[in-house]
Chains A and B, each alone.
Chain A
Amino acid sequence: MSHKERNVDLAKWSGPKRPYDLVKEFVIALLVVSVLVAGLATLFGSPDQKAVTLQDWAKKAPSDFIATTTGELAGTTISAAYGAPYNDASEGLSLGPLKLQKWAGVTIPVDPKYDFVIEPLAYSKDSAVPIALDQWNGASANQQLTWATDYASAIEKAGDSSKVTSSNAFGPVPAMSAGLLALAQDGNLDGLLTTSDTPYPSDFTKPILFLADGGYLDELGAAQHLHGDQWGMMNETGSYPGQSWLWLFSLWYNVEPFKSSENADAQIFFVLFLLNLGFIFMPKLPFINRLPRLIPIHRLIWRRYYRENNL
């Protein structure tokens, strides 16, 4: 078979034709799809698990909340150490020499220590908080770091923030995190984190970044089999098909070398980029573009034509 385009493929078909009512076909398809959709929607509905609030988190997992707050002060949480687009705390991921994350720049500035903890604390009604803030602001960066790291390890050792014996070694950090916990439990922190830029918010970057720094959101996700390594990135809550078309994306998080790679997010994007290029150029790829001939499914599709024409 030559690779040249054949005339018969290029020219307007002059062979036998049959009546074909496109408009009727579309209208029937629309009716069939509408009935199917209505049936599926009635039978299965759609999932709607309420969004988690910082208040839920602070009430249900106070120790995790305290530990995360301390982590923000120590600069050890995911968002505190993130890099672009939120801050300069790290270089971010790279693809070999391509530091795309860094180059794209800090366009959504978030300074977790200030934005999540210190600024909201100004609204605290706890009388210990202003004193603690004064002590914090008056201390050197080194001193602040030592307080926060020591308190963080004490919580980790005790297993729960409520079991940590109070000590001057933690400076104002326990009072600050307790103050933030109270703000969150009262439901005030949710509003403070969304309205710090505008009283008319539509951007939830700050509360969700803070929430995702803790372990609580992660647990809720794991309980709903939503983790990347549980094939869950494409899932939604409950037993719904979710974004099943992302399987090719999810797949890579479950196989080596990506599974254990620090740069998996960047590498997998690159792999998908290549695969999509391949998808576009499938008709031009040697071998791939011969598959339809090698595996003759077309004989089945056009069996009537081949039969009628003895081909």
Chain B
Amino acid sequence: MATMWTTRLRKSTVEKFEPQDILPDEQPSYVASWIYVFGVLTLASLTVIIITGLWLTTKGVTWWHTSSVGHFVNSLHLWSVELFFVFMVVHLWGKFWMAAWRGRRFATWVTGVIAFVTSIATGFTGYLIQTNFDSQWIGSQAKDGLNAVGIGSFFNTLNTGQATLLHVALLPLVVGAITIWHVILVRRNGVVPPLDANEIAGGAK
């Protein structure tokens, strides 16, 4: 039945995709540049962030101050974050100069921006739960900015318990979900053709 919610959900999701669209084994010939690698590198860094973050999570917030293994895992987590941001920034500038929002790909751009902003928030809460001098410093500095616009009344940078739960639960869920959505949109729309792509030389039907 076309009016059933289940049918509608299937039609607007699963039926929009052919197996070939979800995991294609070929790409348009113009998908040949190093810049395409940066989206995947961002995704790979996010994977390493999640794995090392889960490792820290199983041991608790202060494990890394007293264990040399813990300190190394913390270093892995930190450097995967640094790389993640480097790759993401190269990726987003690449997409800008390719004007990759063309052809109804604006939503891909917007989910990208949201991924960027929520990643910053996630990184920030990570700094707050280091439970060391940096946390004290960053928390006491940043509270003034957040308080000044009223956010501080709901998010207290000095409440380590709150920051911990945000960092390991809510925010990674949001970043993860928005990233999945972002990648699904790319698969759904196909990779944007070059600017001024010639329809005769190899364009649309």
CB <8 Å contact, A36 and B83: yes
Query: What is the bound-complex CA distance between A15 and B192, given in angstroms?
Result: 13
**Known interface pairs A276-B113, A305-B30. Does A29 touch B41 (Cβ–Cβ under 8 Å)?**
yes
Query: What is the bound-complex CA distance between A30 and B131, given in angstroms?
Result: 30
CB <8 Å contact, B195 and A298: yes
CB <8 Å contact, A14 and B148: no
CB <8 Å contact, B159 and A44: no
CB <8 Å contact, A208 and B35: no
CB <8 Å contact, B204 and A46: no
Task: List residues of chain B with CB within 8 A of the CB of A50.
Answer: 65, 132-133
CB <8 Å contact, B24 and A20: yes
Contacts A/B (CB < 8 Å), 18 sampled: A5-B104, A8-B197, A11-B205, A12-B205, A18-B27, A23-B23, A37-B79, A45-B71, A85-B156, A95-B149, A106-B153, A108-B153, A224-B137, A226-B137, A244-B82, A298-B195, A305-B32, A308-B29
**Cβ contact of A283, chosen from B33, B109, B156, B199, cutoff 8 A:** B109
Taking the closest CB of chain B, its distance from the CB of A227, in whole angstroms, is 8
Query: What is the bound-complex CA distance between A140 and B41, given in angstroms?
Result: 67
Q: For the complex, is B99 an interface residue (Cβ under 8 Å from A)?
A: yes
Taking the closest CB of chain B, its distance from the CB of A149, in whole angstroms, is 25
**Residues of A with Cβ closer than 8 Å to B?**
1, 5-23, 25-26, 29-30, 32-34, 36-38, 40-42, 44-52, 82, 84-85, 92-93, 95, 100-101, 103-108, 202-205, 208-209, 211-212, 217, 220-221, 224, 226, 228, 233, 236-237, 240-241, 243-246, 263, 265-266, 268-270, 276, 279-280, 282-284, 289, 291-293, 295, 297-298, 301-302, 304-306, 308-311
Closest partner residue, chain A, to B164 (CB atom):
A202
Task: List residues of chain A with CB within 8 A of the CB of B45.
Answer: 33, 37
Task: List residues of chain A with CB within 8 A of the CB of B101.
Answer: 282-283, 289
**Known interface pairs A212-B140, A226-B137, A292-B96. Does A18 touch B159 (Cβ–Cβ under 8 Å)?**
no
Query: What is the bound-complex CA distance between A211 and B137, given in angstroms?
Result: 10
B residues 43-59 in Cβ contact with A at 8 Å: 43-45, 47-48, 52
Task: List residues of chain A with CB within 8 A of the CB of B145.
Answer: 265, 268-269
CB <8 Å contact, A7 and B154: no
Query: What is the bound-complex CA distance between A16 and B205, given in angstroms?
Result: 12
CB <8 Å contact, B89 and A211: no
CB <8 Å contact, B147 and A92: yes
Taking the closest CB of chain B, its distance from the CB of A103, in whole angstroms, is 6
Given contacts A93-B149, A100-B148, 11 further A-B pairs with CB under 8 A are: A17-B27, A40-B75, A41-B72, A41-B79, A50-B65, A202-B160, A204-B136, A269-B149, A295-B97, A305-B197, A309-B198
Closest partner residue, chain A, to B74 (CB atom):
A46
Taking the closest CB of chain B, its distance from the CB of A292, in whole angstroms, is 4
**Cβ contact of B26, chosen from A17, A204, A276, cutoff 8 A:** A17
Cβ contacts B21-41/A at 8 Å (1 or 0 each): 001111111111101010011
**Cβ contact of A292, chosen from B44, B99, B144, cutoff 8 A:** B99
Query: What is the bound-complex CA distance between A15 and B101, given in angstroms?
Result: 20
Q: For the complex, is B76 an interface residue (Cβ under 8 Å from A)?
A: yes
**Cβ contact of B147, chosen from A7, A84, A270, A291, cutoff 8 A:** A84
Residue among A50, A106, A306 with most chain B CB within 10 A:
A306
Task: List residues of chain A with CB within 8 A of the CB of B131.
Answer: 51
CB <8 Å contact, A33 and B80: yes
Task: List residues of chain B with CB within 8 A of the CB of A20.
Answer: 24-27, 31
Total A-B pairs in contact (CB under 8 Å)? 318
Q: For the complex, is B124 an interface residue (Cβ under 8 Å from A)?
A: yes
**Known interface pairs A17-B27, A244-B85. Does A107 touch B154 (Cβ–Cβ under 8 Å)?**
yes
Closest partner residue, chain A, to B201 (CB atom):
A309
CB <8 Å contact, A22 and B203: no
Task: List residues of chain B with CB within 8 A of the CB of A21.
Answer: 25
Taking the closest CB of chain A, its distance from the CB of B78, in whole angstroms, is 5
CB <8 Å contact, B144 and A265: yes
Query: What is the bound-complex CA distance between A29 and B160, given in angstroms?
Result: 34
CB <8 Å contact, A293 and B195: yes
B residues 90-142 in Cβ contact with A at 8 Å: 94, 96-99, 101-104, 106, 109-110, 113, 116-117, 120, 123-124, 127, 130-142
Taking the closest CB of chain B, its distance from the CB of A288, in whole angstroms, is 9
CB <8 Å contact, B43 and A29: yes
